[in-house]
Amino acid sequence: MILITGATGTIGSALVRRLVDDGIPVRATTREPDHATFPAGIEVVRVDYREPATFAAAMTGIEAAFLNGVPGPDGTGTDAALVEAARTAGVRRVVKLSAIGTGDPRLAGPGSWHVPGEEAVRESGLEWTILRPNTFASNTFSWLEPLRNGHPVPNLTGDGRQAVVDPRDIADVAAAALRDTAHHGRTYTLTGPTLQTGRGQAAELAAVLGRPIEVTDIAPDDARAFMTAAGLAPAFIEGALIGQTFIRDGHNALLSGDVAAVLGRPPRSYAEWAGDHREQFMVSAREPSQP
């Protein structure tokens, strides 16, 4: 039995599907078991990171656990508490979802968010693997709203290039690490196969959709105002801006061979991700509204 925390999320849900397809018994966690939808036949347990008393039951009878914390400065103690519960319950192996650039001093705030969790995992005495994915290809779902409203999609990272990674590749690597002791003690950096700018991604999505996509560059102050209006916490906003500046300045132009080394095939491209999600982007633009 493998435990997937954050099982309703981008990576967790892809990982649940991967394991179920492979016939592996899965226990999935969510704060709201009555409202979440999962494949048939899996166990579902309620876990809330703000209630560590919910962890023990989730970890009982588990061989390996996937730790999917919540990004931002408020979630830094969650992994240590999950690791402690795993150790107490006799779990053999943990796989932690971290982030690219963790520990890089140039990333200040966001580069530190996963450090306590990585340390807890490395010092756990359990078999462990840490995954440091790059920016998810699926983050461009945030473009759906401007596309629907007939607005340009925002580019927050200027001419900075990066190799966005397909969430399905992260899930595939996680599944391998959860099932095979060969990945013990490894910290994998997970990127896509190609360095590209935000504008490059938009051009590839436009080619998939068969229509042009207009892009507008967003200055950091405007991005801050937008995220503030969206109700995001100030510390999260400042962290996101630091991350965007890091990419804009070219520091995230990194290609890793770890996906290929683990899976024995190249990582999926952004164009492949876009093609596989074409239907979701086939929105007809409404009359432009005020931004």
Ligand X SMILES: NC(=O)c1ccc[n+]([C@@H]2O[C@H](COP(=O)([O-])OP(=O)(O)OC[C@H]3O[C@@H](n4cnc5c(N)ncnc54)[C@H](OP(=O)(O)O)[C@@H]3O)[C@@H](O)[C@H]2O)c1
Query: Site residues (CB under 6 A) for ligand X?
Result: 6-12, 30-32, 36, 47-50, 68-71, 97, 99, 133, 135-136, 139
The residue among 8 and 124 lying less far from ligand X, judged by its C-beta, is 8
Bridge partners, 64 (sequence order): 2, 93
Which is nearest to 157 in space by CA: 240, 229, 274, 235?
240
**Closer residue to ligand X (CB): 139 or 181:** 139
Buried b (16+ CB within 10 A) or exposed e, 178-192: bbeeebeeebbbbbb
3-class state of residue 54 by DSSP: helix
CB closer to ligand X out of 181 and 280: 280
Q: Smallest distance, Å, CB 25 to ligand X?
A: 19
d(CA 79, CA 106): 23
Query: CB of residue 36 vs ligand X: minimum separation in angstroms?
Result: 5
Shortest distance in whole angstroms from residue 56 CB to ligand X: 15
Angle in degrees, CA 170, 263, 125, rounded to 5? 70
Cβ count near 241 (within 10 Å): 18
Q: Residue 152 corresponds to which tokens in the numbers above?
A: 């340009």
Nearer to ligand X, 145 or 214 (CB): 145
Handedness of CA 222, 139, 98, 159 (dihedral sign): negative
Least CB distance to ligand X at residue 46 (A): 8
Q: Please, which residue, 142 or 181, has the CB nearer to ligand X?
A: 142
Q: Report, in Å, the least distance between residue 183 CB and ligand X.
A: 18
At closest approach, how far in Å is the CB of 243 from ligand X? 9
CB closer to ligand X, 101 vs 146: 101
Quote the tokens at residue 196. 């590209």
Cα–Cα distances in Å, from 181 out to 147, 178, 186?
44, 8, 10
Please state the closest distance from residue 48 (CB atom) to ligand X, in A.
4
Q: Which is nearer to ligand X, 106 or 150 (CB)?
A: 106
The residue whose two tokens read 């190799």 is 163
* Side chain identity at residue 122, one-letter code: R
- Indicate the helix (H) or strand (E) that contains 11: helix 10-21
